[in-house]
Each structure stands twice: as C-alpha cells, then as structure tokens.
Structure 1
C-alpha cells in the first residue's frame, strides 16, 4: 500500500460511492493479472455496490513503434529491450504464465504481437464515454494475451469494439478524433502528478494506493481499510456553528 503524492479528494463533500481508479496498459501482463485479483477481492467485499471503478490510461513505453522489431517473438523483443539472454526471457515469461494461470487466465506469449498501445488507449477512452470501460479493458487484454490479436490494425480494433457493442463509426471516431488522444495523455499526466511510475496501480479514494498485481487477500484488506475510512468521512454529522435563524411556522430568532 503506497502513500500518494497528491490527495485531491475534498472530503467535505459527501460522495455516494467510493472511487477506485486503475491505471494500466493493455500490453502489461501484470495489469491483466491485477485486474483478475482485484475482481476476486471485490467479489468478497460486502460494500462492493458502493464502489465506482474508473479505468485510466498509462503507456509503459510510448516509444515502441507500431510494428517494432521482433514483434512476432515477444521473448526476443524483451531480451533485446532488457539486455538479457533469450533463455532468461523465456524463463521470465514462463513465470508470468504461471502467475496468470493462478489468477484464472490463459496466457499465450507465443502468439503475442508486440505493438504500440496508443490505439488501444484511444479505444479505451472512447468506450469509457459509453460506460464500457471495464468491458473494453477485458476484451483488449484477452485479445492480446490469449488470442494473439494485432492491436495495431484498425480492423481488429473495430472487431473488438463490436464485441462490446461499439459500431464501426464509433471505433473510427475513437481512432481519429484527437479528443481521445488528449484524454489518454491526460490520464498519463495525472499518474505522474500522483507519483505513479508503474502499472497496474490502484488508487482508492485518493487516499490509498496499491502498486502491482497484489494477491487477492492483500487487495481485500486495503479495500476494507479504505472503505471504513470512506464511510466515516461520508457519514460524519455536519459541524454547525449557531447563528440567528428563521424556522418554518415560527418567528425568527432574535
């Protein structure tokens, strides 16, 4: 659990739901695992109907070309980027596959097509305006890590958008309207202001932070702690300073 650099929530204003913001990149294997663990924790959390989840964009490496070298061999791609041997890269990925399986996910790194994730984030930003933030995150994660879909191809993103109820024209708007690029950039800038340097990162009520794909039990503990604090701040009686008043059906007080 991390302390955030900036705490912008005004707790003098009572909130109907406790907000949880999740910064992630659709091409981050730990983000999908973190999503599943968070969902498992939320399923065990009695106050889940009082939780409002907001997904946020975070590009781990904006410098990656849309079609980078070794895009069809993620083991070689990571080995080259991290300066490790091919064998070490394979071993690292095997460990992640095991983590994913423990979370109920089926990763196929042999199918993964490495690409720049900006187009995916533009689609995410548009989907959020339609109340489809969780659905688009899930579909893109599954497409990338399990199905080996090429997220640099507009037609593929159109297909994935259709799977969650978006039309061809809506996906085209997402990929061409600069509004959704700016929204993705704004999320990244906000992450920087909060001191977030890696994903997944879960910000709870702008008071608590969870970094990485934490185990379900750990996430549940933080949820419980944060929710208890949120309930207290949103149920405290008003602090009243007495002054002269008028009340219905009576004279005004002197």
Structure 2
C-alpha cells in the first residue's frame, strides 16, 4: 500500500507529523507492505533566501502575521512543547529563515536515488535542531553528503531546472488532491490525513485503509458457493 506525504522541511508540524507517523508504523504489523513516497510542498515560495528578520523567527512570524512579538514567542513555545512530546528538540532561537526551494530540490534528487527518507530526516534535523542555513550551497553540499549524495549530485540538484519543475509539480498535485497545507498524507489515493495528528489517530486510518487495500489486492474472489465438480472428479451439492 502506498502512502504519499507532502511536506515542507521548514514546516514545524511536518517534522512532528513525521515522528507521529513513524510511531504509528511501529505499531502496524504489516508495515513491510507499506511504500512511502515523500513529496515537496512549498508553504511560501515568495520568501527570499535572506528575508528580513531571518535570524529572528519570532520577529519574522510577528511581521508576517501582524501579531505582537510576545504572541509570536508564545506560539513558538507551544510548538516546542509539541515537538518535545514527539521526541524532537526544536531550537527556534538559532533558526535561520529562508526559502525552502533549494532544500526541496535536494530532496527531489535524493528521491531518484532511493534516499528520499534520508533527505527529509537530515534536512528537518538540520533546520529545526541544528539551525543550519539551508540557503547556503556549501551547507547543502555537506548535508547532501550526510544523506548519501555526492557533491556532483548536489550541484545537479541546485542547477538543473528539472528539479525545480519536480518541486512545482508535487505542489500542484497536492492542491489537486485538496491539500490546504502540510503535512498532508494520502493513503492509497483513497484516504487522507491532514496535519500532524497523533500516532494513535494515524494508526486508525492506516488500519482502515490497509484492510481495504488488502481485500482489493488479495487476488481472491468473493464466492457464492453452489454445486460443483473438481478436477479430481469430486462433486458436491
């Protein structure tokens, strides 16, 4: 069964959603039959690589949302608590705000090499925990190496327009499916989970979707039994 996950590596709830999803999978007995594909979604493509207040996420969000600085701090403190509950450590005080396109391009080339999961995890951790600058090509090269990419791979991701087109195509597909934000999980193209729901709630949806998928892909027919004869000349009524 296939699960597609749209996310932005600079979305705090996407990393939390990833951890909650992983928690659900640990309790899912048929997880070896699950195929996961990560997809790109830019929450705000208009953000410059070095926006105003890039070194102060509290001020950046306050200005974007038209709220007070203290309100922004309070919002982020709440997210820190949510992250901690999911087993994550967020350091908003050292976060560097930037456009996520370069990171998304890196994820796209990683996916072509079967490293999509590695890329998502490494970039999330780099941004939210380490405070890495995801607009810096040298930093992205270092992170790409951690993911399993070569320097040439990273350069290709950042310069070949095909990878930007892949990012944009993923985002357009999410909107067609009804996504209004991320994280957005689509299961077997029949069920969706919007937002960073708890592992318990995710598990319930997984179980429902998997039971349906298994029935549809078992290869067995629903049989209404009548009188039959078998190749061994046994006949029953």
Taking structure 2 as the reference length, what is the TM-score of the superposition? 0.92
The equivalences for 1:9-88 within 5 A come to: 18-88=1-71
The equivalences for 1:104-253 within 5 A come to: 104-237=87-220
* Misfit runs of 4+, over 2 Å: 236-239
2:229 counterpart residue number? none
CA RMSD of aligned residues (A): 1.2
Q: Secondary structure at the match of 1:219?
A: helix
Deviation sequence 1:36-63 (CA, Å, 0-9, x none): 0000100110010000000000000000
Cα distance in 1 for partners of 2:192, 2:93 equals 33
Taking structure 1 as the reference length, what is the TM-score of the superposition? 0.86
Cα distance in 2 for partners of 1:163, 1:227 equals 33
Deviation sequence 1:88-129 (CA, Å, 0-9, x none): 000000000000000000000001000000000000000000
- Tell me by how many angstroms 1:235 deviates: 1.5
Structure 1, unaligned stretches of length 5 or more? Answer: 1-17, 240-254
- Tell me by how many angstroms 1:238 deviates: 5.9
- Tell me by how many angstroms 1:189 deviates: 0.8
Q: Secondary structure at the match of 2:95?
A: coil
Cα distance in 1 for partners of 2:154, 2:175 equals 28
Cα distance in 1 for partners of 2:181, 2:148 equals 30
Cα distance in 1 for partners of 2:221, 2:160 equals 45
Q: Secondary structure at the match of 1:97?
A: helix
Cα distance in 2 for partners of 1:161, 1:236 equals 42
Aligned residues: 223
Q: Secondary structure at the match of 1:121?
A: helix
Cα distance in 1 for partners of 2:209, 2:30 equals 11
Cα distance in 1 for partners of 2:73, 2:141 equals 32
- Tell me by how many angstroms 1:237 deviates: 3.3
Q: Secondary structure at the match of 2:93?
A: coil
Q: Secondary structure at the match of 1:235?
A: coil
